[in-house]
């Protein structure tokens, strides 16, 4: 006497493939419902686009997975149409643009006729290691006084300049009482 034992397994299926921007799947059924184990789906790009990454996906694996990541395949623009490029801050002539002292973000933007966009950001750092300049820093003339309690003395203030154009001069006690 023989005893036959049958085991039933669930059919292995893969999730439907998501829509691909600027492309489609063949057969079209790859975009609808669960896909049978072993099914192959081919990616076809729209006119003016070319495939980047695997052009075919197959339902494989014990748990129903596709043989390559969906993100690995794109339909890229190869239209050879003009791409608009602009940057922020708005710079008409890079050699003539005056960056401020400090760190400035510069971002390039690009957009093609199909509204595909990209951007790139980098930072320009301008340091200030130049010392300020002080002009007219001269000794005042000798003051003579007969006052025993000291004398009020004034002088012409020197002029302070800096390449950063951010000069703030703080003065304290414009009049001094000097004891003699």
- What span, in angstroms and rounded, lies between the C-alpha atoms of 135 and 171? 16
Which range (52-61, 116-125, 171-180) has the least confidence?
171-180
Residue-wise pLDDT for 161-172, tens only, equals: 887 776 666 665
Going by C-alpha positions, the residue among 13, 14, 11 that lies closest to residue 70 is 14
Per-residue CA distances from 58 to 16, 18, 52 (Å): 11, 14, 17
Angle, CA of 118, 124 and 126, to the nearest 5°: 170
User: How many CA atoms are closer than 13 Å to the CA of 27, on its beta-carbon side?
Assistant: 7
Residue 138's pLDDT is 87
The average confidence (pLDDT) of the chain is: 80
Residue-wise pLDDT for 11-25, tens only, equals: 788 888 888 888 888
**All domains of the chain in start order, with CATH:** 13-77 (2.10.70.10), 84-126 (no CATH), 130-180 (no CATH)
For residues 75-101, average pLDDT: 81
Residue-wise pLDDT for 38-86, tens only, equals: 899 999 988 778 888 888 888 887 777 888 776 667 777 766 677 788 8
Which range (6-10, 16-20, 23-27, 115-119) has the least confidence?
6-10
Instruction: Give SS3 for 30.
Output: helix
- Is the pLDDT at 180 greater than 50? The verdict is no
- Is the pLDDT at 2 greater than 50? The verdict is yes
Query: What burial class does residue 49 get, using C-beta atoms within 10 Å of its C-beta: 0-12 exposed, 13-18 middle, 19+ buried?
Result: buried
The model carries a pTM of 0.40
């Amino acid at each position: 006497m023989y005893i036959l034992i049958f085991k039933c397994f669930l059919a292995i299926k893969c999730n439907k493939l998501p829509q691909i921007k600027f492309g489609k799947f063949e057969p079209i059924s790859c975009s609808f419902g669960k896909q049978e184990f072993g099914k192959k789906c081919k990616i076809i790009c729209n006119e003016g686009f070319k495939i980047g990454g695997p052009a075919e996906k197959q339902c494989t694996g014990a748990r129903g997975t596709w043989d390559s990541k969906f993100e690995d395949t794109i339909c890229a623009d190869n239209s050879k149409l003009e791409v608009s490029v602009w940057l922020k801050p708005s710079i008409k002539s890079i050699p003539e643009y005056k960056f401020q002292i400090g760190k400035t973000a510069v971002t390039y933007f690009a957009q093609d006729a199909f509204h595909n966009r990209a951007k790139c950001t980098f930072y320009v750092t301008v340091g200030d290691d130049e010392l300020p300049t002080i002009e007219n820093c001269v000794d005042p003339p000798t003051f003579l006084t007969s006052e025993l309690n000291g004398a009020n003395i004034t002088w012409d203030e020197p002029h302070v300049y800096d390449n950063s154009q951010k000069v703030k001069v703080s003065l304290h006690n414009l009049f001094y009482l000097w004891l003699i």
